[in-house]
């Protein structure tokens, strides 16, 4: 597959920032250590510090709007093909905090994208293609773009290299129809994974209904529920790696940090968020992106509920394993694209 953009590379420079910061500072990272000389770049034009040249860039805006979403996407400078662009979202259950069409529509139409999703492995409004398409219509997605439920015609297998649990990952059969994926995720908590962001969206999210069950079982083919938690978390990382390998870098990732409930968009009655909205972040590295979002939650004064959800499910293991197998880097450089205050 021809590459349209270069993949960002890992390094050892970790940048942390709390939304609204106006200068350099130190925050407590999610691994419980202390980052010294953490630095928040005030603009994309500011010179990168020595030693950070190869760190994956994570761009951020606090403007959670259609214009803000376009701005953070444009900051990446991605070269997309003229056709075959998929925008992977989670359509969400009725009553959930799914990303609204009013927020994402301008971006989807700007890139000429097709909204793509896969059916769930549990009962509900997304359990089969007919129900799922109706829900996509009800949520307003068919008003902004074509919608493709990618496992409507079954699954296709992707090889998993370097995994501890999976040897194959099963994605929707239409997955191969697209040349580039924009992975647009609502970052939030999750009852099983601890949190959901980019890595979860390319693993569980792109998996067919059968593939979801495979990942949840840790590759054993057993029950999705009540199995080995760590095997499930690591299997998500391994499934995500298979997707990234197949696409050969033809992907970019955007996380929207609003409505930060401890519950996911698969929950039709999610807990009301008790922390503030943070912003929109984007990167070519899904691990760096999710780690930056996690670090912003840990840095927030009102993030206790979401932190408790992440830690109670051992959620950080997904990112740790993802880095170990080469999906991405947990170190990153965070770049604000907002105009400096004053």
Q: At what angle do helices 316-324 and 229-247 cross, to 10 degrees?
A: 50
- Pull the structure tokens for residue 180: 């580039």
Q: How far is CA 140 from the centre of its chain?
A: 21
Classify domain 72-328 at the CATH topology level. Answer: Rossmann fold (3.40.50)
Both structure tokens of 194: 């601890």
Taking the chain, what is the end-to-end CA distance rounded to the nearest angstrom? 46
Per DSSP (E only), the strands in the chain are 57-61, 85-88, 114-117, 147-149, 155-159, 168-172, 180-186, 188-190, 194-196, 251-257, 279-283, 333-336
**pLDDT value, residue 267:** 76
pLDDT tens-digit series, residues 66-85: 999 999 999 999 999 999 99
The confidence score (pLDDT) of residue 266 equals 82
Listed by start position, the domains of the chain span 72-328
CB atoms under 10 Å from CB of 36, counted, come to: 7
Q: What is the pLDDT of residues 161-176, one digit of tens each?
A: 999 999 999 999 999 9
Q: CA–CA distance from 294 to each of 38, 94, 166, 245 (Å)?
A: 16, 26, 26, 24
What tokens does 237 get? 């990382």
Contacts of 71 (CB under 8 A, 6+ apart): 61, 63, 337
The confidence score (pLDDT) of residue 44 equals 55
Of 205, 198, 204, residue with least CA distance to 283: 198
**Contact by Cβ (8 Å): 193, 187:** no
pLDDT of residue 291: 98
HEC-encoded secondary structure of 152-220: CCCEEEEECCCCCCCCEEEEEHHHHHCCEEEEEEECEEECCCEEECHHHHHHCCCECHHHHHHHHCCCC
pLDDT-flagged residues of the chain (< 70): 1-53, 342
In this prediction the pTM is 0.88
Residue 28, beta-bridge partner list: none
pLDDT at 223: 81
107-262-314-207 Cα dihedral, nearest 10 degrees: -40
pLDDT digits (tens, 9 = 90+) for 279-337: 999 999 999 999 999 999 999 999 999 999 999 999 999 999 999 999 999 999 999 99
* 3-state SS assignment for residue 285: coil
């Amino acid at each position: 597959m021809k590459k349209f953009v270069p993949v960002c590379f890992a390094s050892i420079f970790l940048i942390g920032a709390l939304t609204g910061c106006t200068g350099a500072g130190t925050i407590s990272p999610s691994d419980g250590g202390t980052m010294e000389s953490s630095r928040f770049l005030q603009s994309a034009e500011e010179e990168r510090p020595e030693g950070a040249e190869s760190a994956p860039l994570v761009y951020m805006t606090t403007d959670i709007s259609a214009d803000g979403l376009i701005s953070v996407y444009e900051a990446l400078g991605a070269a997309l093909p003229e056709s075959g662009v998929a925008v992977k979202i989670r359509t969400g259950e009725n009553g959930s905090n799914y990303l609204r069409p009013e927020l994402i529509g301008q971006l989807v139409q700007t890139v000429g994208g097709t909204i793509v999703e896969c059916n769930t492995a549990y009962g509900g409004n997304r359990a089969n293609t007919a129900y799922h398409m109706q829900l996509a219509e009800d949520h307003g997605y068919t008003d902004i773009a074509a919608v493709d439920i990618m496992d409507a015609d079954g699954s296709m297998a992707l090889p998993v290299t370097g995994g501890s649990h999976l040897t194959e990952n099963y994605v929707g059969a239409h997955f191969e129809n697209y040349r580039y994926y924009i992975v647009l995720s609502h970052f939030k908590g999750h009852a099983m994974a601890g949190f959901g962001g980019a890595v979860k969206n390319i693993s569980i999210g792109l998996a067919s209904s059968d593939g979801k069950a495979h990942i949840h079982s840790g590759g054993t083919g057993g029950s999705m529920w009540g199995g080995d938690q760590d095997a499930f978390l690591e299997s998500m990382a391994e499934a995500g790696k298979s997707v990234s390998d197949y696409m050969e870098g033809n992907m970019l990732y955007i996380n929207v940090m609003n409505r930060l409930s401890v519950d996911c968009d698969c929950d039709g009655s999610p807990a009301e968020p008790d922390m503030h909205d943070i912003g929109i972040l984007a990167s070519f590295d899904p691990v760096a992106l999710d780690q930056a979002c996690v670090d912003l939650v840990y840095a927030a004064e009102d993030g206790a509920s979401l932190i408790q959800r992440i830690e109670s499910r051992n959620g950080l293991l997904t990112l740790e394993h993802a880095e170990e197998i080469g999906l991405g880097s947990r170190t990153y450089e965070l770049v604000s694209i907002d105009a400096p205050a004053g």
